[in-house]
C-alpha cells in the first residue's frame, strides 16, 4: 500500500513538483492569495501559473502543509497531492 507523507519544507515540495513536471499555480481570479494548485500541464483554464516566490508566500500565509505520495501502490511515480491545514 502506498503511503502519503506531509511536509512544509519548500525545497522538498519544489523538488517533488518539478520531478513530476508540475508548475506552481493558483486558481485564476481568486485575488492576491488565491487557492494553490499544481498544474501538471494538462489543459485547465481555471489555473494561473505563478512563480515559486508567490507560491510559497501563499503557502505560508495560508498556514498550509503539503500532503503527497512518492509512489502509487503499483510502484509508479505518484502525482497524488493535497494542500492541507497545518496542525
* pLDDT tens profile 29-75: 756 677 999 999 876 778 889 999 999 999 999 999 999 999 998 99
Q: Cβ neighbours of residue 27 under 8 Å, at least 6 residues apart?
A: 34, 35, 37, 46, 47, 48
For position 31, what pLDDT does the model report?
61
- pLDDT tier for residue 2 given thresholds of 50, 70 and 90: confident
Domain residue spans in the chain? 4-85
On the question of pLDDT at 20 being above 70, the answer is yes
- 75-87 pLDDT, tens digit each: 999 999 999 999 8
- Global pTM reads 0.88
Q: Which three cell numbers stand for residue 27?
A: 486558481
Amino acid at each position: 500500500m502506498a503511503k502519503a507523507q506531509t511536509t512544509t519544507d519548500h525545497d522538498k515540495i519544489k523538488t517533488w513538483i518539478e520531478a513530476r513536471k508540475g508548475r506552481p499555480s493558483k486558481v485564476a481570479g481568486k485575488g492576491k492569495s488565491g487557492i494553490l494548485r499544481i498544474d501538471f500541464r494538462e489543459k485547465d483554464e481555471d489555473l494561473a501559473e505563478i512563480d515559486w516566490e508567490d507560491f510559497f508566500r501563499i503557502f505560508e500565509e495560508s498556514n498550509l502543509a503539503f500532503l503527497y505520495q512518492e509512489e502509487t501502490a503499483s510502484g509508479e511515480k505518484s502525482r497524488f497531492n493535497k494542500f492541507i491545514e497545518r496542525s
